[in-house]
Every structure is written in structure tokens, then in C-alpha cells.
Amino acid sequence: MLETVLGLYNYWIVIILMMAGFYTVIARGNLAKKVIGLNIFQTSMFLMYITMGAVESGTAPIVAEGATLYTNPLPSVLILTAIVVGVATTALGLALAVRIREAYGTLEEDDLRVLEDRQDTLRDTAATQDGEQPVSP
């Protein structure tokens, strides 16, 4: 029992972190906070890969005298590139948030929805007015 708990502890923490990120993305209305939630989710995924690659009493995958058991280098490679790609995509998300704030003056999802609805109705009424204008003269 204890062995199972210790053997799976890392995965369970990974899932808790993943769900924490997931919760932030779906329950929080602030776009910046959502990006941070995605970051938590992402980090949990990194941890999961690295956990899978670890070997009991293994050493870092750099050839050394006297070392025979190495951890798996493949997850390291995948995650190493994923971290840098992750920050680049996070920057893209944050840039979108900045542009949204400049255009709408808010980052809250609820406000954005209200503003979008209002713009849509205004545009619709404007479009109908435009359609009538050529008729009147």
C-alpha cells in the first residue's frame, strides 16, 4: 500500500497541478489569469514526462566514469524544447491579452462578452439604416 502511494505520488501531484491549471482556465474570467493557469497546466505536463523518464538510482544522462545506469534522455529532450516553445507561445497569448485590453479596456471575459454583444447590435442596426438610406433620396 505504502509502496503504491510512494510509487504513484508524483503522478498524483501532477494530476492535482494539472487540474489546478484546468480550473483556472475554465473558472476564472481574467484573461491574464487564464494564461497563468495554462502555464501551471504546462508545468505539470513537464513534470509528468520527467517523472516517467526517471530511473531509481540512475544518474543524469551525461557519460561519466563508473556510471552504468542513466535516466532516460528522451523525455529531457522533448521537455527542454517544450519549455522554450512554451514561453514563446505564452508571450503570444499575453500579447493578445494586451491588444484586447487596448481595444476593449478590460480583460474580464464577462465584460468582453457584453461589449461584443453591444457592438453586434449596434452594427446590425447601422447596417439596416445603411440599407434604407439609398431608398430615401
Partner 1 sequence: MEQIIDIVLLAFMVVTAIAMIRLRNLFAVVMLSGIFSLLSAAMFVVLDAVDVAFTEAAVGAGISTVLMLGTLALTFRDERPATRADWPAMLVVTVTGAALIYGTLDMPRFGDPDAPIHQHVAPRYIVDSPREVGPPNMVTSVLASYRGYDTLGETTVIFTAGIGVMVLLGSVTRRRRRARPTTPATPAAPAPPEGRP
Partner 2 sequence: MNHHSVLRTMTKLLMPPIMLFALYVQFHGDYGPGGGFQAGVIFAVAFILFALIFGPVRARRVAPAWVTTPLTAIGVLLYAGVGVVSLLLGGEFLNYDVLAHDPHHGQHLGILLVELGVGITVWAVMVSIFMAFVERGAAAHADGILDGTPDGTPDDREDGHA
Q: Which of 14, 22, 21 is nearest to 40 (CA)?
A: 21
Tell me if 84 contacts partner 2 by CB under 8 A: yes
Region binding partner 2 by CB under 8 A among candidate stretches 33-41, 78-86, 113-121, 129-137: 78-86
- Whole-number minimum distance, CB 25 to partner 2, in Å? 22
Q: Give Cβ neighbours of residue 48 (< 8 Å, ≥ 6 apart).
A: 10, 11, 14
CA angle 78, 83, 89 (to 5 degrees): 120
Q: How far apart are CA 38 and CA 86, in angstroms?
A: 10
Instruction: Indicate which single residue of 1, 117, 122, 132 sits in contact with partner 1 (rule: CB under 8 A).
Output: 122
Q: How far apart are CA 19 and CA 80, in angstroms?
A: 23
Tell me if 76 contacts partner 1 by CB under 8 A: yes
Residues touching partner 1: how many (CB under 8 A)?
Answer: 99
Contacts 24+ apart (CB under 8 A), 21-27: none
Tell me if 91 contacts partner 2 by CB under 8 A: yes
Instruction: Indicate which single residue of 9, 113, 116, 117 sits in contact with partner 1 (rule: CB under 8 A).
Output: 9
Residue 69: CA count within 13 A, CB half-sphere: 6
Tell me if 58 contacts partner 1 by CB under 8 A: yes
Interface residues for partner 2 in 105-124 (CB under 8 A)?
105
Tell me if 61 contacts partner 1 by CB under 8 A: yes
User: Residues 88-107 vs partner 1: string with x where CB under 8 A?
Assistant: xxxxx-xxxxxx-xxxxxxx
